[in-house]
C-alpha cells in the first residue's frame, strides 16, 4: 500500500498484477490499481482532473491527462472517501506510476493533490527502481 496526504486529502494506492490479463510472450503486462481518496480537511472538495506519469522498466514515459477518474468527478464532504479501480498496461514486466489530482474547494480555490509513486512489478522478477 502506498499513501500520501496533501492539503488534507489522503490518497492510498494498492496495485495488483493481473496475471490472467498478461502475456509475457506477447510483451503485455497488466495491473489494476485501487485508489481511495479521503477528505481529511475541514471543507468540501471536488476532484476535477487527473494527471499520470507512467514509466516502464525500459525508461519509456507516457503522460495521461483527463477529466475526473473513471468517468466521475466526485464531491467529498469532510470525512468522506471515494474509492475506484482502474488499470495500466505495459510492454515491460515492471514500471512505476505517479500522479496528481486537480481539486477545487467550496470557495472555488483550485489546488493539486499528490498521488504517491507506486511500483508495478510482475511476480517472480527482481524489482527495478525506475
Give a yes or no: residue 107 inside a domain: yes
Looking at residue 130, what is its pLDDT? 47
Give a yes or no: residue 39 inside a domain: yes
Residues of the chain with pLDDT > 70: what percent? Answer: 95
pLDDT in tens, 80-104: 999 999 999 999 999 999 999 999 9
Give a yes or no: residue 55 inside a domain: yes
pLDDT in tens, 11-31: 999 999 999 999 999 999 999
Burial of 114 (0-12, 13-18, 19+ CB in 10 A): middle
Q: Which residues are 67's β-sheet partners?
A: 49
Distance CA 110, CA 28 (A): 37
Taking all residues of the chain, what is their mean pLDDT, rounded to a whole number?
A: 95
Give a yes or no: residue 92 inside a domain: yes
What is the number of domains present in the chain?
Answer: 1
Give a yes or no: residue 9 inside a domain: yes
Give a yes or no: residue 126 inside a domain: no
Distance CA 48, CA 101 (A): 7
The parent domain of residue 21 ranges over 2-121
What's the CATH code of the domain at 66? 2.60.40.1470
Give a yes or no: residue 95 inside a domain: yes
Looking at residue 123, what is its pLDDT? 86
C-alpha separations of 20 from 15, 16, 126 in Å: 15, 12, 20
Residues whose CB falls within 8 Å of the CB of residue 71, separated by 6 or more in sequence, listed in order: none
Q: Given pLDDT bands bounded at 50, 70 and 90, which one contains residue 127?
A: low
3-state secondary structure the chain: CEEEEECCEEEEEEEEECHHHCEHHHCEEEEEEEEEEEECCCCCEEEEEEEEEEEECCCCEEEEEEECECCECCEECCCCEEEEEEEEEECCCEEEEEEEEEEEECCCCEEEEEEEEEEEECCCCCCCCC
Give a yes or no: residue 130 inside a domain: no
Amino acid at each position: 500500500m502506498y499513501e500520501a496526504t496533501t492539503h488534507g486529502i489522503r490518497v492510498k494506492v494498492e496495485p495488483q498484477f493481473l496475471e490472467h490479463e498478461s502475456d509475457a510472450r506477447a510483451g503485455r503486462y497488466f495491473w489494476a490499481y485501487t485508489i481511495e481518496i479521503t477528505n481529511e480537511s475541514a471543507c468540501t472538495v471536488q476532484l476535477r482532473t487527473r494527471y499520470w506519469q507512467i514509466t516502464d522498466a525500459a525508461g519509456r514515459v507516457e503522460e495521461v491527462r483527463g477529466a475526473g477518474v473513471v468517468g466521475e468527478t466526485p464531491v467529498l464532504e469532510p470525512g468522506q472517501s471515494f474509492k475506484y479501480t482502474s488499470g495500466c498496461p505495459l510492454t515491460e514486466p515492471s514500471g512505476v506510476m505517479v500522479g496528481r489530482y486537480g481539486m477545487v474547494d467550496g470557495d472555488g480555490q483550485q489546488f493539486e493533490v499528490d498521488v504517491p509513486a507506486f511500483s508495478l512489478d510482475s511476480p517472480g522478477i527482481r524489482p527495478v527502481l525506475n
